[in-house]
Amino acid sequence: MSDWPDGWNDRSDPHGRGSGGAQPEGARVMRHVQRGQVPPPAAPVPPVRRPVPAQPQGYDDGYGQGSHGDGYNTGQVYGGGGGRGGRPPRVGPAPDWRRRIKLGSLTLVVVLLAVSIGTYFWADGKLKREVDLSKVIERPEAGDGTNYLIVGSDSREGMSADDKKKLHTGSAEGKRTDSMMILHDGSNGPTLISLPRDSEVEIPSFVGSESGKRFPGQGRRVKLNAAYAEDGPELLVRTVEHNTKLRIDHYVEIGFAGFANIVDAIGGVEMDIPKAFKDKKSGADFQAGKQTLNGEQSLAFVRTRYAFAGSDLDRTKNQQKFLAALASQTATPGTILNPFKLYPTMGAGLDTLIVDKDMSLWSLGQMFFAMKGVTGGDGTSMNIPISGSNGGNLVWDKAKVAQLVEQLKNDEKVTVTGN
């Protein structure tokens, strides 16, 4: 029998105030719960590991505590940075590859610029600026383009007795011109003109390069190489200008040793020799066909004249052919971009190179590439026009020489042909 009034045990009561059991429902099911306490779960539930949003410092659950009052912990950490179920470790920002590439490129440019500037001043400091063209008097007017007088001398400076024997240079003291060429660099392409050493020319009035004394012209007619032997490069330039009426802008001279060393530094020069020839005086001994010449062989090739019917005229043609091939095969990426070739090549050439006082390394480079253009189909190579001979001297064709010089002065296309 129930002590509760009828109807209080009605299970349909939405408030659960009735029960059909032996004990009142309140005593059987419900217990007194103090405020601020949370009943534990009926069964342990594994904590769910999921990131929890960060809570502000001093989180309050509404009861003045930072956690549930009964010490119950759900495994979550509020306001903290670590622990199980906390936020994942912070990952740094992704690398800025664009910025890194820009910095790397800038560093590379700076390094290359520094190396280039250093190389320029190193090479520029090795030039021997010994020729003073201001001492040359009564000079022709300058024309268009740039004219270089390129001289190969038989200087044996710095050569040992074994070197002289090996290169068949002999042991003569002093130096003489072994080859002379005018290279005109203009808008119509380069023109390379050989001046045979046996050319008959007039020695004009001049001022001595060492004494400063003026020597009047006496109408003396000599071989062209005699002008160099008499008073060096300044008188040679004066004589060339007087007999051609063409102003020389720069002077470049190289000796035997420097020539051979340049060839060896680049690993030889490939030449196609159309006909075999041999010469005891120069040491030449060549078969026909394509072959790579070393420094010794190259010097013999450009010096040989007694093996040819045309003597000095044939030799000048071989000199032009070789120098153009040398320039073409040197100015390649394999040499310019390879420091193990570039520096030995520049060092070998610059150590024995003699130039005028106004010659810059830039002008020398322009001359070099103009020489290369002669074989690249952009230029012309020729001997100065010859009308005949006077004993052992070659006589220039004055009319053709005048026409040639006029075309060079005006930087026109050269139509004159030489021998």
Residue 64: predicted pLDDT: 43
Instruction: Provide, rounded to the nearest whole percent, the portion of the chain with pLDDT above 90.
Output: 35
* Higher pLDDT pick, 414 / 99: 414
* Higher pLDDT pick, 126 / 52: 126
Residue 233: predicted pLDDT: 94
Residue 106: predicted pLDDT: 81
Task: Say if residues 268 and 294 touch (Cβ distance below 8 Å).
Answer: yes
Q: What gap in Å lies between CA 239 and CA 200, rounded to an integer?
A: 11
- Residues with Cβ within 8 Å of 135's Cβ and at least 6 positions away in sequence, in order, are 207, 209, 212, 234
Confidence of residue 1 (pLDDT cuts 50, 70, 90): very low
* Higher pLDDT pick, 262 / 248: 248
Q: What gap in Å lies between CA 86 and CA 72, rounded to an integer?
A: 18
Residue 3: CA count within 13 A, CB half-sphere = 4
At 113, list the tokens: 């610029």
39: left (phi over 0), alpha (psi -120 to 50) or beta: beta
**Whats the size of the chain, residue-wise?**
419
Q: Is the pLDDT of residue 328 over 50?
A: yes
Q: What gap in Å lies between CA 87 and CA 343, rounded to an integer?
A: 62
Confidence of residue 166 (pLDDT cuts 50, 70, 90): low
- Treating both helix axes as pointing N-terminal to C-terminal, what angle do 361-375 and 312-330 enclose, rounded to 10 degrees? 110
Residue 157: predicted pLDDT: 57
Q: Is the pLDDT of residue 7 over 50?
A: no
Residue 182: predicted pLDDT: 96
Average pLDDT over residues 2-21: 47
Highest mean pLDDT among 59-68, 131-140, 294-303: 131-140
Residue that is written with structure tokens 């280039």 in the block = 116
Looking at residue 141, the DSSP 8-state letter turns out to be P
Cα-flanking dihedrals φ and ψ of residue 222, to 5°? -140, 175
